[in-house]
Structure 1
């Protein structure tokens, strides 16, 4: 029986306008009684710059919302007041944790009507805050849009909002196509579902192209330093005296602090709708609300972020997503028809388009990931599985592959009693125990394993560049920052809290000398990495961080095979240790797991077998396929990581390197159909195999070398013609 399919019109959502208003937003409240709001918000950027905004708002009377009649007027009033509220809180050198009654009282009433939080959300910043310049031009052209209000009055801020509006307009057709695809799936009409999936895929691709224009006119440094602070929420802002959030003074004497996240494109209903119709899940990472503390991020929690963002959408949009998720059936429909190749390809095209779009978003904001937080999230997930038992502090000492027994040394008992050996039987042992893998050491004893471990004459230690203020970066967060030197290097990668995780690479001799004579640390940085200290890291912090950090060696490991028979297999750093200069160690380990279990599926290891020996043979074939598939990729990224170190340290300042990168980036941007891209972008922002990336880079390098040679040859051939002409010009005084 076909369930009731939600009609977007019942939620105020148009098939042409999508989640944007059916009529363009009201640009100004015409009611004279409310003109004070309009005067303030229209002059917001000037009042912020002159420091007058708080004084003006403090003198403002509490106005009634009674004159608001139409939905468009309610939207406009919301836009006015959230801009004024966020501006009031964040405009000074010291943020305030109070929203005064003149703003709080009407804002809370408006938010109750619209079912939306009293903070600057995606709806207030974008959906209800735009004007079309020409009615004859499409809404999805950002050049044809302007924002009605902004905090800074800058073109950068306007472009940031209007690109988001254009994306909503461009993606609007997805809603109708999704509804029809769901109906066709319930009717069993594969041909129609396939057609709509192809059309949805085309829209996703176009949205991704538009997203790629985000920083075309919005400079990253301007956004993060000037615009983003005004978009901040009140959640987790303890360092700004917002321990409990913001106090919205409603005049009742019983007002309570409320905590909200800031505006984010994750609050876009369109993007979440695409996830829903394709069956892409974003569940909470962990069952427990647990805080993890580490050097790289002072306090990080892991909530179900995507689900949480729905609370910041207009109520009607939120209900539409909830109702459509109850009937979404595309993923299950496609999954039940594996023999329909055209249908499978259409669905895969949508998923790949969505992945590419998220890859482009990652290019906009490249952040490092705190390992301690990730470990905590993974442990949370594992603890949910009833069949899994966790044991800590047990060291693997030996493996008996004939009896399939692993021996572990247990931790010391009470009263510091001697540790004892414990044995565990296994069917399949997966060694994921890191660079100094005990599993690999055991395998070397009984497997015919080729093994190579190579040290380089470098050690490393980590530093942290603190943010200027909460989530305000000292450097552009959209780039990898490199300070190259002859035998050392300093790099910085952004964290999501506004800080940077930094790494110093230097020779063991350098670390030894600086360790013995700490007074040389700051002069060393000034000589090799100018601008770092005290510009980014204070002298005191530099000394304490250097002396408190571990100074560790760098080495790489290649080995093969990664398995023994059908009983033991290596993954992650246990199988391949690479230098950190591509940041792919964790990524390649996660990819190992994906490939391994895809191969398990392909070989039918979850099927029933006639006997244990049949299962063992099938598993051995699967593990052999895993080694054959992963070895070329692991060795390729191992080699590319070392090459990238030499490139970052020695070549980034060379003219030829800059010339080559410039050509590659322009070819990638302006003629993408050629399939040209830099090696770094392929490694970091695509799912291509590492071995394929290396082959493509070698092919591009050969082509560029040939073109370079042709250019030099043409230049040489032209010299005999240019020299006489030049001499003639000189003789005539030209």
Structure 2
């Protein structure tokens, strides 16, 4: 049994990943969305685990790709430090430089052998993207960022097949970055997860990733409620309306539990550790001050490749679960509006709304799921608007929308605790240190950005407020 057969043997025969890979160049005519099927395997959505895979992701590539695996292991084992770390010692800088030289001296490996399996491609993207972030962020702040061909070109090729940006994504840090804490227990379960890869090796970083993983698993019931609701919309009678109202009340409770799960990150992840130790590694090319361009060496001799245009880092905005809730509830027209580009620079460049752009960072099957959901000819919100005299239905729908708004309130609280407050504290301490040394004041700091490149406070408030606009008037004032 070869590796491909072994991988398929771990999956049920009807699962998407057990089937032959389709030609990634094949698309529907004129970009049309095919709505002939909503089978879960078409979208790599499992009825037990949602957007998380039901089996542990591949933990190592075949032997021919061992140079990639060992160089990443070396970065983790050496506890490398970011190049713009305050107080970086000469020894730490030298260790990072030696490791980067190791990366540059790797052989330039072909990627054709990875195409036989989606699982191999996922692992390759994960290993190379993690290595990319180690490489980029250990470079001293005053040096240009030039990514060596043995790292950059394979990452670009794998990313092109997967239709993903060549950078670390939410799927690399959350969806495909777990293993069972106890292999003897059922998997994956919220209380039986550990992370495979970490930049810092700290529990804080791991808890940050696992909190999102637990939210994905809790969101499985939300996906079930969406499916049941769409079935009832098809029926459309008075009894169906009552069932939909019941589903909406239940969905509101599930979203509240997502809120509780998000807040639980405080139990294992200290804000200072996350902000100063873990978060710097996750930054994309459009995050932080300076924003040196990431240049991929060797592109001029690789006619099959193009310079990447999307290099934001991993972001909660790349979770297909939250996007699915927006689409299902009919909120996406507000929350994905082009006026919410994420930053003034992005808006000036005519870039798409931030949440719309983040869909490019999702596994392409999950993007297709969102496309199919958005293309449903019988959307929920339209039904509720038509049935405006049904106060019970509208009130139940509003409960779900209100729960989404409150989830975004909590997200703003977490972002304030873990990013905005530590950033302000660090900025104040740096200013006081400059004043103590008698140095001149530097120019005013740029707006604080998320790892995905957003101007955080303004963007999150905008999305939260747009979500609240989704509430509908209720007949009889219920």
Q: Which TM-score band applies after superposition, normalised by the shorter structure?
A: 0.7 to 0.9
C-alpha distance in 1, partners of 2:319/2:272? 24
Q: Deviations over 1:478-512 (max 9, x none)?
A: 54x9xxxxxxxxxx968xxx967xxxxxxxxxxxx
- TM-score normalised over the length of structure 2: 0.72
1:622: which partner in 2? none
> Structure 2 unaligned runs (5+)?
1-34, 82-94, 445-456
Question: Higher helix fraction: Structure 1 or Structure 2?
Answer: 2
Task: Give the alignment partner of residue 161 of structure 2, picking from 96, 113, 117.
Answer: 113
RMSD: 3.7
CA 1:163/1:337 → structure 2, altered by over 3 Å: closer, same or farther?
A: same
CA 1:331/1:240 → structure 2, altered by over 3 Å: closer, same or farther?
A: closer
Q: Deviations over 1:612-653 (max 9, x none)?
A: xxxxxxxxxxxxxxxxxxxxxxxxxxxxxxxxxxxxxxxxxx
C-alpha distance in 1, partners of 2:382/2:336? 18
Which residues of 2 match residues 445-464 of structure 1 at below 5 A? none
SS of the equivalent of 1:164 reads: helix
Q: Deviations over 1:552-602 (max 9, x none)?
A: xxxxxxxxxxxxxxxxxxxxxxxxxxxxxxx9xxx9xx99xx99xx99x89
> Structure 1 unaligned runs (5+)?
294-298, 368-475, 482-491, 501-529, 546-582, 603-734
CA 1:536/1:280 → structure 2, altered by over 3 Å: closer, same or farther?
A: farther
1:23: which partner in 2? 55
Please report how far the alpha carbon of residue 81 of structure 1 lies from its aligned counterpart in structure 2 after TM superposition: 0.7
Please report how far the alpha carbon of residue 6 of structure 1 lies from its aligned counterpart in structure 2 after TM superposition: 2.5
SS of the equivalent of 2:51 reads: coil
Residue pair 1:156, 1:219 contacting (<8 A) in 2 also:
yes
> Does 1:213 find its partner at 2:264?
yes
Q: Deviations over 1:7-50 (max 9, x none)?
A: 32212211212111232201122x22112222222332234243
Residue pair 2:248, 2:400 contacting (<8 A) in 1 also:
yes
Residue pair 1:140, 1:170 contacting (<8 A) in 2 also:
no
2:375: which partner in 1? 326
1:310: which partner in 2? 359
Please report how far the alpha carbon of residue 203 of structure 1 lies from its aligned counterpart in structure 2 after TM superposition: 1.7
> Does 1:85 find its partner at 2:140?
no
Residue pair 1:152, 1:226 contacting (<8 A) in 2 also:
yes
CA 1:98/1:144 → structure 2, altered by over 3 Å: closer, same or farther?
A: same
Task: Give the alignment partner of residue 159 of structure 1, picking from 207, 213, 217.
Answer: 207
> Does 1:283 find its partner at 2:336?
yes
SS of the equivalent of 1:200 reads: helix
Which residues of 2 match residues 23-62 of structure 1 at below 5 A? 23-29=55-61, 31-47=62-78, 48-49=80-81, 50-51=95-96, 52-62=98-108
SS of the equivalent of 1:239 reads: coil
Structure ID, larger Rg: 1
Which residues of 2 match residues 359-398 of structure 1 at below 5 A? 359-366=409-416
Please report how far the alpha carbon of residue 324 of structure 1 lies from its aligned counterpart in structure 2 after TM superposition: 0.8
> Does 1:197 find its partner at 2:248?
yes
Please report how far the alpha carbon of residue 144 of structure 1 lies from its aligned counterpart in structure 2 after TM superposition: 2.1
2:152: which partner in 1? 104
Which residues of 2 match residues 322-471 of structure 1 at below 5 A? 322-327=371-376, 329-366=379-416
C-alpha distance in 2, partners of 1:131/1:36? 23
C-alpha distance in 2, partners of 1:205/1:531? 39
CA 1:358/1:538 → structure 2, altered by over 3 Å: closer, same or farther?
A: farther
Please report how far the alpha carbon of residue 300 of structure 1 lies from its aligned counterpart in structure 2 after TM superposition: 10
Which structure ranks higher in relative contact order (CA pairs < 8 Å, sequence separation ≥ 6)? 2
Please report how far the alpha carbon of residue 59 of structure 1 lies from its aligned counterpart in structure 2 after TM superposition: 1.2
2:16: which partner in 1? none
- TM-score normalised over the length of structure 1: 0.49
Question: Higher strand fraction: Structure 1 or Structure 2?
Answer: 1
Please report how far the alpha carbon of residue 536 of structure 1 lies from its aligned counterpart in structure 2 after TM superposition: 7.6
SS of the equivalent of 1:214 reads: helix
C-alpha distance in 2, partners of 1:61/1:223? 34
2:91: which partner in 1? none
Please report how far the alpha carbon of residue 264 of structure 1 lies from its aligned counterpart in structure 2 after TM superposition: 0.4
Bigger shift: residues 300-309 or 317-326:
300-309
SS of the equivalent of 2:410 reads: helix
Task: Give the alignment partner of residue 225 of structure 1, picking from 276, 279, 286.
Answer: 276
Please report how far the alpha carbon of residue 65 of structure 1 lies from its aligned counterpart in structure 2 after TM superposition: 2.4
SS of the equivalent of 1:218 reads: coil
Q: Deviations over 1:314-336 (max 9, x none)?
A: 11111110121111611111122
CA 1:361/1:539 → structure 2, altered by over 3 Å: closer, same or farther?
A: farther
Task: Give the alignment partner of residue 126 of structure 1, picking from 163, 167, 174.
Answer: 174
2:13: which partner in 1? none
C-alpha distance in 2, partners of 1:289/1:92? 27
